[in-house]
Homo-oligomer: A and B are copies of this chain.
Amino acid sequence: MSDYTEKREWHPVEEREKGLVEKLRGITKHAYEKAPAMKKRFDEAGFHPSQIKRIEDIEKIPIITRDEYIKMQRENPPFGGFLTVPYETLKRIYVHPGPQYETLADADIKHAQKVLWKVGAKRGDIVINAVAYHFVPAGLLVDDILTSMGITVVPTGFGNTDLQVQIMYDLKATLFAGFPLFFMSVIKRAEELGYNFKRDFHIKRALALGSSPVRRSLEEDYGIDTREIYAYLPVGIPACECEEKSGMHIEEDFIVEIVDPATGKQLPCGEVGELVVTTTFNDILPRIRFGSGDLSSLTDEPCPCGRTSYRIPKILGRVGEAVKVRDYS
């Protein structure tokens, strides 16, 4: 345990929830006072931050779906009344399709550092960052986290497979950040060019955005340790796999719920529904019960690593898509 790992990841659940209640009450009060759209929504739902006494009280807060968020931004551009500071003071403004305007707080970066450290990014790594930097926050998020940890980043973005092969080889890159399918296409291209990937390259680890059918092959055929991370970009990186690779642990200071997409009601562990995320630390653009549109479930089964957080077994699809929920176990 050092650098970015914290003792409290092994704390009893009750202790975590006690701390979270206080943080949730604080951010909710802040949002109520500083973000006009939040005040309006809270008032309309008959909710007041003083009602937060236990972690379960989070259900009294209205969920914000992505569609609602985009609609409110269009009616009141650019941030729909959710921002607590003038937008000219933000570091960057990102644009998701929609368009949906987003920003990241320094606190998002600080929390995400712990995630990337846990999944194996260490000082001395040379990281191929094959995540897009343009418009969306993904590439710059990974870049900001790694460079702030003193790790060397090669900002390649997506595509340009031949050049990616040469760069990985020349720079003796040690870590790949991006989509497993794209990483596999780079490896296959390296093989076409006559390289033996395992022998000639130094990449031993991948930060995998999203689960993928090629992950097993990366691990077994190429000896790459892949760690899945869940990046829901408005909130940073709320979950990642530990060394046991048995589902993604919810990070400290995040609250992740699974709700029935039709009713918005919380579902118990094991049932599949929409991931709803709350961060308790973003005071610039408070993210309280933001619907991710992603389908998953929660588990509270003990993890062999000893961390006591809930875990997301995996992402099963998007709300509205037909998914075979029986397959997820």
Residues of A near any B CB (own CB < 8 A): 77-78, 87-95, 99, 101, 124-126, 132-135, 139-140, 143, 147, 150, 152-158, 160, 163, 166-167, 170-171
Taken together, the copies of this chain in the complex come to 2
A-B contact pairs, 17 of them (CB 8 A): A87-B152, A87-B171, A88-B125, A91-B153, A93-B154, A94-B155, A95-B154, A99-B167, A101-B170, A101-B171, A133-B139, A133-B157, A134-B158, A134-B160, A135-B155, A135-B160, A140-B155
Q: A88-B124, A101-B171, A171-B93 are in contact. Are A134 and B152 (CB under 8 A)?
A: no
User: Given the complex of chains A and B, what is the CA–CA distance between A92 and B126 in angstroms?
Assistant: 9
Are B101 and A152 within 8 A (Cβ)?
Answer: no
User: Given the complex of chains A and B, what is the CA–CA distance between A94 and B132 in angstroms?
Assistant: 15
Q: A133-B139, A134-B157, A157-B134 are in contact. Are A152 and B95 (CB under 8 A)?
A: no
User: Given the complex of chains A and B, what is the CA–CA distance between A192 and B87 in angstroms?
Assistant: 28
Q: Which of B88, B133, B147, B163 contacts A133 (CB 8 A)?
A: B133
Are B134 and A156 within 8 A (Cβ)?
Answer: yes
Are A92 and B155 within 8 A (Cβ)?
Answer: yes
The 5 tightest CB contacts between A and B, nearest first, are: A134-B157, A133-B133, A77-B170, A93-B154, A92-B153
User: Given the complex of chains A and B, what is the CA–CA distance between A88 and B173 in angstroms?
Assistant: 10
Determine how close the nearest CB of chain B comes to the CB of A171; give it in whole angstroms. Answer: 5
Q: Which of B88, B91, B125, B139 contacts A147 (CB 8 A)?
A: B91
- Residue ID in chain B nearest A91 by CB atoms: B147
